[in-house]
Amino acid sequence: MSTTKYIFVTGGVTSSLGKGIISASLAKLLQARGYSVTIQKLDPYINIDPGTLNPYEHGECYVTEDGAETDLDLGHYERFINLPTTQANNVTTGRIYQTVINKERRGDYLGKTVQVIPHITDEIKRNIKLLGKKFNYDVVITEIGGTVGDIESLPYIEAVRQLKWELGPQNSLFVHLTLVPYLSASGELKTKPTQHSVKVMLENGIQPDVLVLRTEHPLNTEIRKKVALFCNVNMESVIQSIDVSTIYEVPLLMKEEKLDITVLQKLNLPVNEEPKLDKWKQFISRLKNPKKEITIGLVGKYVELQDSYKSIMESLIHAGSVNQCKVNIKSIHSEKINEDNIAETLKGIQGIIVAPGFGQRGVEGKIAAVKYVRENNIPFLGICLGMQCAVIEFARNVLGLKDADSSEMSRTTTNPVIDLMEEQKGVTEKGGTMRLGAYPCDIKKGSKVFEVYNQEHIQERHRHRYEFNNDYLDRFEKAGMKPVGHNPDTGLVEIMEIPEHRWFIGVQFHPEYKSTVVNPHPLFVNFVKEISKD
Ligand code: GLN
């Protein structure tokens, strides 16, 4: 029998309570106590993965080493526990149904009627257990997306209810996250929504073992007692999760509340030495005590929703802490800028990042921003489409190829300096068909980017269909924009830089997916360091 213990995290009352952060914080604490742990997200929507979703729907699409397009919570998991996740760490209803339907078509069900119970719930259970079995983790934390009571969450709730009994006592545990609202008119914290939410869990046959209460004000003993009494848990199992200025403080708050100890005791696991959190604490102390302050512009077309560029924002926080520098991020909508207003828009901004993206909308604004920072020696980091815009701008304004473009934006350009990758030419389906996941890249010694990484061979994650067109390589090199990173197998250009410029680097990959608290990404760290010299 497997010795892996399972923790199921559910949410009630409302969405956006921070289940992902609580799951990641608990994982961090268990890991800091020496346990091997991973976190999985079950998403109740029908898309096979979020790769086809507009960022306005669910925020950024995160990409794992093995090339899975996943929910952005997996980014939090990696940033907190500093371990790569995989395709198995994110499962959607769409994927569950797809597997079951494929099995039905193969005839695997031997003439049986295929139903939500047991076939869908069995497939959910199989996916949960898969992680523990495959990698032999001590603890698997499974976060169930959505809010209890939602129709679409029901099969998941039923599956974990069954799992609890199959796994036997002390092998699994339910953590339920709710909200304790504060009514300012009466100056009171209200527990009723929590009671109702636990009632919904009970109707589904689940008694939560631990309640994490999100609140804007501290919970006094009376409130904790009340929740314990009405929700059938002991006082130690009522955990306060108060609003904090940075998500990275949550593990320390959860430690104060002894969430890790309560969980370990309930799972009958030894509560050994104090968690090792020195690096984490140092990170927070540097973050909260900055000696400098800078402002970076983030140019993108989804800037209204902060979650669209989550990993970039978090990478800048990591880099800020390393440099003990407060990084203000000014979002700049790429559709609202042009050559006429760019100088005004970038006033007070010391460096820009041009964000990844797809399609024509907003591209000309991004190109105008690149032109301005290139000509004015302002630090620039271009990510994926951001790098492609830098290439197009250089071709148009330095090489004099006036109609230069990406063939993604213009099919008729006579100068497709960014072109569809060879392997993409026959691809018609949209889902999961980009160049995805980690690929190696060789860095040219003596380049700026070599100085940044201090490494010749790197691995970075990708998510794109278009690439630099190598027919133009010589012209770019001669004019001063240098390809300084290549895929060793295919020769694809992965990094471009302008050595004459103060700091001008474009990368075809996404460095933001690999920046973590204990391992901040060198590109962001160096970018912030350069700007903080101002
Ligand atoms: N649309 C571009 C491509 O597919 C860039 C993608 C991105 O920025 N992630 O190549």
Residues 159-211: tens digit of each pLDDT: 999 999 999 989 999 999 999 999 999 999 999 999 999 999 999 999 999 99
Is 176 known to be catalytic? Answer: no
- Please tell me what DSSP assigns to residue 291: S
Measure the CA–CA gap between 376 and 319, rounded to whole angstroms: 24
- Structure-token pair, residue 423: 């392997």
**Confidence class for position 334, pLDDT limits 50, 70, 90:** very high
Longest dimension (CA), the chain: 75
In the block, residue with structure tokens 């770019």: 476
Mean pLDDT, rounded, for 241-264: 96
The dihedral over CA atoms of 312, 313, 317, 320, expressed in degrees to the nearest 10, equals 70
Measure the CA–CA gap between 487 and 445, rounded to whole angstroms: 15
Integer angstrom CA distances of residue 373 from 138, 349, 382, 479: 50, 10, 11, 17
- Structure-token pair, residue 43: 């998403």
Measure the CA–CA gap between 302 and 317, rounded to whole angstroms: 20
First-to-last C-alpha distance (Å) of the chain: 60
* SS3 call for 220: coil
> Of all protein residues, whose CA lies closest to atom 1 belonging to ligand 1?
358
**Confidence class for position 2, pLDDT limits 50, 70, 90:** low
Measured from the CA of 467, which atom of ligand 1 is nearest? 10
Measure the CA–CA gap between 161 and 207, rounded to whole angstroms: 9
Averaged confidence pLDDT in the chain: 95
Is 510 known to be catalytic? Answer: yes
Contact 319, 523 (CB under 8 A): no
Q: pLDDT above 90 covers what percent of the chain?
A: 91
Please state the pTM of the whole predicted model: 0.95
- Structure-token pair, residue 108: 């695997």
Is 61 known to be catalytic? Answer: no
Query: Model confidence over 461-490: pLDDT tens digits?
Result: 999 999 999 999 999 999 999 999 999 999
What's the CA-to-centroid distance between 67 and ligand 1, angstroms?
15
Measured from the CA of 408, which atom of ligand 1 is nearest? 1
Whether 357 is in the pocket of ligand 1, judged by its Cβ within 6 Å, is: yes
